[in-house]
């Protein structure tokens, strides 16, 4: 992603001042002593990994977390030298890179511990690792019932040192916390067993944004937050923090205006037929940019008003009805997601159109839309 203004009349604006405000508000909301890991995988959910990571570090992030080694390398290439956690499992080739680059891996079984320990030894290093305990997500990690024994054996490796033990919730942001509390109980049991076994480490962590907001009893030493500093909540029902606002606005401009008569159709598939004369604005964006694939559904903001999508949109074009917005002109700015005047189309509205969640709707804006950073640049 670059900071150069693009010629293309379609782009994503990221408000770095609001990002700083959000981190500041979140920091103040945290209980004293709680640390946080800033999760910036997939370009910080489409907002820009480097910009979000740098801001997070200014607000005291303990580490930056990513999902792939490539992302971690890219962050280092952008002079981010903070500790980096790489979620998930690593291939043997990736383990070698993690040793040379000092990326912190998750090691959840004896074999991988042995492998990393050997690599660390030949590099003359002692590598920090975190262990993931699977408490019910059934994804990565050592099963909670086997965790104490496995962690004891990993703790015996001379060239590794266990810095953290963590787990991840299956559902932390909905009203029903039954399963989350069961996961928490399993994690607590593992912690108690490890303490009894005399295994010491610095960080216990379990919470994503949903857990941070709604499960203070699960905070432990660190929380891992991704979506919240972006000003977006993981669900409609989790706790709100006053003052947090979305930092992403998706914009385009009207590329053409066409008048159609009664009986005329709009778009592929002839999904809309005009009952009378209509004025139609053509937007130079479509599902190839991450706008939902819709038929006569969804709205955009033009001249501070909502204009409905008419017909089926295409990969590169979307038509909206501006009959009731006579002042709309070619090259007027259009907001696809975000605020214009008093109107707002939020990420949840976009997500509903796609039949998906806010995370998917955020990451859905494709990289062919350039990111434009507003606010003071980060050093």
Ligand X SMILES: *Cc1c(COP(=O)(O)O)cnc(C)c1O
> Which are the contacts of 168, defined by CB distance < 8 A and separation ≥ 6?
132, 135, 137, 139, 140, 141, 206, 208
Burial class for 154, CB neighbours closer than 10 Å (0-12, 13-18, 19+): buried
Nearest approach in angstroms of CB 140 to ligand X is 8
* Beta carbon nearer to ligand X, 227 or 309: 227
Number of residues that bind ligand X (CB under 6 A): 13
Nearest approach in angstroms of CB 85 to ligand X is 9
Look-up of token digits 């598939």: 269
Q: Are 370 and 2 contacting, i.e. CB atoms less than 8 angstroms apart? A: yes
Q: Are 267 and 313 contacting, i.e. CB atoms less than 8 angstroms apart? A: yes
Nearest approach in angstroms of CB 184 to ligand X is 15
* Beta carbon nearer to ligand X, 227 or 281: 227
Give yes or no: 265 in active site: no
Question: What is the pattern of x (binds ligand X, CB under 6 A) and - over residues 12-51?
Answer: ---------------------------x-x----------
The DSSP 8-state label assigned to residue 142 in this structure reads: E
* Beta carbon nearer to ligand X, 39 or 191: 39
Tokens representing residue 215 in the block:
């499960």
CA gap 252, 339 in Å, rounded? 13
Given the residues 41, 112, 157, 177, select the one marked as catalytic.
41
- Of residues 216-245, those binding ligand X (CB under 6 A): 224-228, 234
Nearest approach in angstroms of CB 332 to ligand X is 34
* Beta carbon nearer to ligand X, 201 or 359: 359
Tokens representing residue 330 in the block:
């070619």
Please name the helix (run of DSSP H) or strand (run of DSSP E) that holds residue 347, with its range, or none: helix 347-354
* Beta carbon nearer to ligand X, 227 or 361: 227
Burial class for 334, CB neighbours closer than 10 Å (0-12, 13-18, 19+): buried
Find the binder of ligand X among 87, 144, 203, 233 (CB under 6 A).
87
Q: Are 333 and 303 contacting, i.e. CB atoms less than 8 angstroms apart? A: no
Nearest approach in angstroms of CB 79 to ligand X is 24
Give yes or no: 41 in active site: yes
- Of residues 174-213, those binding ligand X (CB under 6 A): 208-210
Cα 297–314–288 angle (5° rounding)?
105
| Binding interface with ligand X (CB under 6 A) | 39, 41, 87, 168, 208-210, 224-228, 234
The catalytic residues are: 41, 268
């Amino acid at each position: 992603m670059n900071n150069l203004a693009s010629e293309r009349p379609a782009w994503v604006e990221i408000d770095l001042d609001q990002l700083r405000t959000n981190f500041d508000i979140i920091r103040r909301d945290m209980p004293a002593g709680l640390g946080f890991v800033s999760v910036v995988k997939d370009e910080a959910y489409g907002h820009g990994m480097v910009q979000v990571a740098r801001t997070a570090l200014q607000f005291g992030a303990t580490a930056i977390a990513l999902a792939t080694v490539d992302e971690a390398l890219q962050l280092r290439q952008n002079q981010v030298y903070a500790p980096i956690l790489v979620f998930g499992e690593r291939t043997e080739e990736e383990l070698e890179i993690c040793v040379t680059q000092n990326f912190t891996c998750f090691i959840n079984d004896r074999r991988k511990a042995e492998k990393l320990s050997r690599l660390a030894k030949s590099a003359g290093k002692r590598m920090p690792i975190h262990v993931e305990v699977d408490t019910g997500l059934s994804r990565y990690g050592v099963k909670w019932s086997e965790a104490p024994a496995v962690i004891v054996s990993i703790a015996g490796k001379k060239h590794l040192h266990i810095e953290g033990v963590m787990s991840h919730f299956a559902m932390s942001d909905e009203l029903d916390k039954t399963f989350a509390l069961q996961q928490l109980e399993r994690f607590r049991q593992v912690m108690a067993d490890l303490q009894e076994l005399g295994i010491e480490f610095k960080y216990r962590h379990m919470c994503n944004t949903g857990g941070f907001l709604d499960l203070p009893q699960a905070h432990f030493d660190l929380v891992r937050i991704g979506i919240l500093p972006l000003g977006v909540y993981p669900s409609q029902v989790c706790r709100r923090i006053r003052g947090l606002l979305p930092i992403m606005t998706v914009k385009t401009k009207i590329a053409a205006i066409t008048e159609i008569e009664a009986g005329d159709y709009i778009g592929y598939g002839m999904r809309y037929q005009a009952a009378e004369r209509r004025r139609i604005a053509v937007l130079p964006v479509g599902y190839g940019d991450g706008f939902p694939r819709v038929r006569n559904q969804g709205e955009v903001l033009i001249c501070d008003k909502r204009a409905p999508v008419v017909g089926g949109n295409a990969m590169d074009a979307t038509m909206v009805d501006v009959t009731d917005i006579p002042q709309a002109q070619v090259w007027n700015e259009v907001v696809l997601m975000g605020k214009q005047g008093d109107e707002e189309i939020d990420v949840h509205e976009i997500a509903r159109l796609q039949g998906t969640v806010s995370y998917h709707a955020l990451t859905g804006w494709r990289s062919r839309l350039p990111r434009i950073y507003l606010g003071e640049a980060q050093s």
